[in-house]
């Protein structure tokens, strides 16, 4: 590994960035170095980068077949973070200021949540063919909005359940933020299905796989299987989106939705809750007079 890359990754680890973020940065910067060596015909060195190099790098990303604006912007964000570190640490010593080119305009993608019919189809699929553990995972994701990494990290000491109320504590959410999520009746039932009565207060992970605590990849695999059975192209994050959408449809304010799912910005929450075409269709139907 190049010394500059090793030093930057060490900095990220010391800054308590997540393993996934570090892997992403490493991949992006390795690809940058490969591009530079092919384009410039010399080994990549942050100290020799020029503004022209950065402009050409962005152009190469834009012209790369199949690369979407979101992927381009992620790579540019990686470069921006790297150059800031390189400048502060003295790794980059360019005589001219190095400014990362502007981000690409974002694609407007449709929201990715399950409507109530699709949520019920998923629940029927997992109830018919799944274990109590699998049913509990789906119900908890739909009723708490936790990220799958947060779900996998949950232990029995992180939840408290009584007949009429309950609380789930996310001890290290995104950005190492701690938050508490109240548990509705469906979420409390999910934890009882998972064995709360016998395991309350234990330090063991709530959801176990074949070789220990279940992993995010394990959840992705079984959700895709149950989703396919229900005719759905499903990802775990869609259940988090569905939680947000259900709250908004129930009239819950965005500030409360943001607090429940751990968003620092209401703009982030608003993106999760953009109206679907069905929502827009129902809206215009409200003002029509035709029978």
Indicate if the pLDDT at residue 110 is higher than 60. no
Q: Identify the active-site residue in 74, 171, 179, 237.
A: 237
Sign of CA dihedral 207, 209, 212, 217: negative
Which of 168, 153, 135, 157 has its CA nearest to residue 214?
A: 153
Please give the full DSSP string across the chain, using - where no structure is assigned: --HHHHHHHHHHHHTT--HHHHHHHHHHHHHHHHHHHHHHSS---GGG--HHHHHHHHHHHHHSTT--HHHHHHHHHHHHHHHHHHHHHTS---SS---PPPPPPPP-PPP----HHHHHHHHHHHHHH--HHHHHHHHHHHHH---HHHHHH-BGGGEEE-SS-EEEEESS-GGG--EEEE--HHHHHHHHHHTHHHHTT-SSBSSEETTEE--HHHHHHHHHHHHHHTT----HHHHHHHHHHHHHHTT--HHHHHHHHT-S-HHHHHHHTPPPHHHHHHHHHTT----
178 is catalytic: no
198 is catalytic: no
- pLDDT classification of 30: cutoffs 50, 70, 90: very high
Q: Identify the active-site residue in 139, 147, 241, 245.
A: 147
Q: Which of 59-68, 94-103, 116-125, 202-211 has the lowest mean pLDDT?
A: 94-103
Length of the chain: 291
Indicate if the pLDDT at residue 146 is higher than 90. yes
Looking at residue 96, its pLDDT comes to 44
174 is catalytic: yes
Quick: pLDDT tens for 206-225.
999 888 999 999 999 999 99
Indicate if the pLDDT at residue 182 is higher than 90. yes
What domains sit in the chain, N to C, each tagged with a CATH number? Answer: 3-89 (1.10.150), 116-282 (1.10.443.10)
Cα 207–212–214 angle (5° rounding)? 40
Looking at residue 139, its pLDDT comes to 96
Which of 59, 78, 77 has its CA nearest to residue 67?
A: 59
**What pTM was estimated for this model as a whole?**
0.61
Q: Identify the active-site residue in 80, 112, 174, 179.
A: 174
175/116: higher pLDDT: 116
Residues 270-283, mean pLDDT to the nearest whole number: 75
- pLDDT classification of 290: cutoffs 50, 70, 90: low
237 is catalytic: yes
d(CA 131, CA 144): 20
Residues 176-205, mean pLDDT to the nearest whole number: 93
Looking at residue 109, its pLDDT comes to 55
Quick: pLDDT tens for 75-101.
989 998 998 898 888 876 554 455 666
68 is catalytic: no
147 is catalytic: yes
Q: Identify the active-site residue in 188, 240, 241, 245.
A: 240
Looking at residue 13, its pLDDT comes to 93
């Amino acid at each position: 590994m190049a010394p500059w890359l090793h030093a930057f990754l060490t900095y990220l680890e010391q800054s308590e960035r997540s393993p996934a973020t570090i892997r992403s940065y490493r991949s992006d910067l390795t690809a940058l170095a490969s591009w530079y060596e092919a384009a410039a015909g010399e080994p990549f060195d942050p100290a020799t980068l020029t503004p022209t190099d950065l402009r050409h790098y962005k152009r190469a990303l834009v012209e790369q077949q199949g690369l979407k604006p979101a992927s381009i912007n992620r790579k540019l964000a990686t470069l921006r973070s790297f150059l800031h570190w390189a400048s502060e640490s003295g790794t980059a010593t360019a005589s001219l200021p190095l400014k990362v080119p502007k981000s690409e305009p974002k694609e407007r993608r449709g929201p990715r949540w399950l409507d109530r019919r699709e949520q019920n189809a998923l629940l029927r699929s997992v109830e018919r063919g799944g274990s109590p553990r699998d049913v509990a995972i789906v119900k908890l994701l739909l009723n708490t909005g936790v990220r799958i990494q947060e779900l996998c990290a949950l232990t029995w000491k992180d939840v408290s359940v009584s007949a009429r109320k309950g609380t789930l504590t996310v001890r290290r959410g995104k950005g190492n933020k701690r938050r508490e999520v109240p548990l509705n009746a469906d979420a409390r039932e999910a934890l009882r299905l998972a064995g709360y009565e016998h395991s309350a207060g234990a330090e063991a992970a709530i959801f176990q796989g074949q070789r220990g605590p279940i992993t995010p990849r394990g959840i992705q695999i079984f959700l895709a299987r149950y989703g396919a059975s229900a005719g759905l192209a499903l990802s775990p994050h869609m259940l988090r989106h569905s939680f947000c959408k259900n709250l908004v449809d129930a009239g819950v304010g965005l500030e409360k939705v943001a607090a429940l799912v751990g968003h620092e910005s209401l703009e982030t929450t608003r993106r999760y809750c953009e109206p679907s075409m069905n929502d827009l269709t129902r809206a215009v139907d409200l003002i029509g007079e035709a029978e």
